[in-house]
Amino acid sequence: MADLVLDYALLHQLAGSMRELKAKIRTDVETGSRRAVVTSNGAVVSSAQVGNASVYAALSAFFYACHSPFKDSMELLDKLADNFDGIAKAFFDVDADFGGKVNTARLQAHIGQWQADTKAYEHYLDIKDKNVTFQYYDENGDLKTATIPLWSGPPPPEPGAVPTEIDGTGTVGSNHTTAKLDEDGNIVSETTTVQSGDGLTYTETTDYTYVDTDGDGVPDVVDYTSTITHSDGSTETIEKKTDPDGSYVVTSKTDEGTTTSTVTPTPDGGSHNVTVDTEGETTTTDIVVTGDGTGTKTVVGPDGTDVYTGNPKTGQWTLQSHEDPPAEDDDYYYNYPV
C-alpha cells in the first residue's frame, strides 16, 4: 500500500487563491443585487453606454439572476478555503513538532560529542608535556635511564564553543532550534521555529527541569513546560510534573480548555494513565508488560474499549479488538435503583 503524501503547502496556497477569487467577484455579486450591469473592474455601466435598452434589460436581468447562486458560491468558497487551510495547518503543525524533536535529539548528540571531544582535548593538555622515566641495562650491562612521552602523534582538534543551535534538514522553508545549557551540558531551554516558506509558522519554547531522585549526581527525571504557537495563531501550554513516587501529571491548556493526564508507573514496567479532556470525558489507558519486548494496551473511553498488543518500549501497537460503549438505555437499565 502506497504511503499517503499530503502537500500542505499547496493546500495553504489553494486556500489563499480561493479567498483572492472571492475578493475579486465580491463587487460583481453585491452590484448584481441592485440589477446593475458592471464592467470587469467593477464600474457600473449605464443603459446609454450599452446603446440598446432591450440588451441592457437582458444584461440587468442576467446579473440579478446570478446574484443568488454567486452569493452562495462565495459562502462555499469561504468554507472550502477554511477547510483546506485547516487541514494544511494541522499537518504542518504535526511535521513542525516532529522536526523540532528531531532537532533536539540531533543537538543533544552534537553536545555529547562536544563533551567527549572536550575531555579528550583536556586530557591531551594535561599529559602532552609529561614523560615516563624508566631504567634499563644496555647490552654491556650498564644501567641506563630513558624517558617515553605520554603523548605521541598529532594533538586532537580543539573542541571550540559548545553547540547551542542547529538547523533542520528540510529543503522547504526553514527549521531552526536554539538552546541554553547548564554547566553540565544539559539543555535547560530551547526554542524551535519552523517556517513553511509560504506563510505558515510554528514556534515552540520548552524549559526543562532536571531532578536527581536517587542522589547519585545524575538526573533521572526530566520535567518541562512547553509554550507552542501554532500556525493558526492559537497557543498551547504543556506542562509535565513528576511526583516523588514516580507518577507524573501532564497538563495541556488551550483556548478550548484544559486536558490532564495522570500517569502512574506499575512494577512490571507498564503504566496506568487517566486522561480527562476539555469536555470532562475520561479515558483510561493501561499498559501491561507480558514478556521481553511485548505487552498489551487497553484503552477505555467515550468511544468504547480498544485492546492492542505490541512493544511497550517502542510504542508500536496493533489493534486486536474493539467494543462499543454500552447504549444509554442499557446504562439506565443496569444502573436504575431498585
pLDDT score at 70: 61
Cα–Cα distance between 221 and 215 in angstroms, integer?
12
pLDDT tens readout for residues 76-94: 677 777 777 777 788 888 8
- Are the beta carbons of 107 and 100 closer than 8 angstroms? no
Residue type, 296: T
Q: Taking the alpha carbons of 211, 213, 216, 219 in that order, is the dihedral positive or negative?
A: negative
pLDDT tens readout for residues 305-315: 999 999 988 88
pLDDT tens readout for residues 6-55: 566 666 666 666 666 666 666 556 654 455 565 555 566 666 666 666 77
What cell was used for 67?
446574484
Rounded to the nearest integer, the mean pLDDT of the chain is 82
Cα–Cα distance between 23 and 107 in angstroms, integer?
45
Residue type, 315: G
Read off the pTM. 0.70
pLDDT: is 195 or 18 the higher one? 195
Using DSSP, state whether 149 is helix, strand or coil. Answer: strand
Beta strand 187-195 with 201-211: parallel, antiparallel or unpaired? antiparallel
Cα–Cα distance between 230 and 94 in angstroms, integer?
10
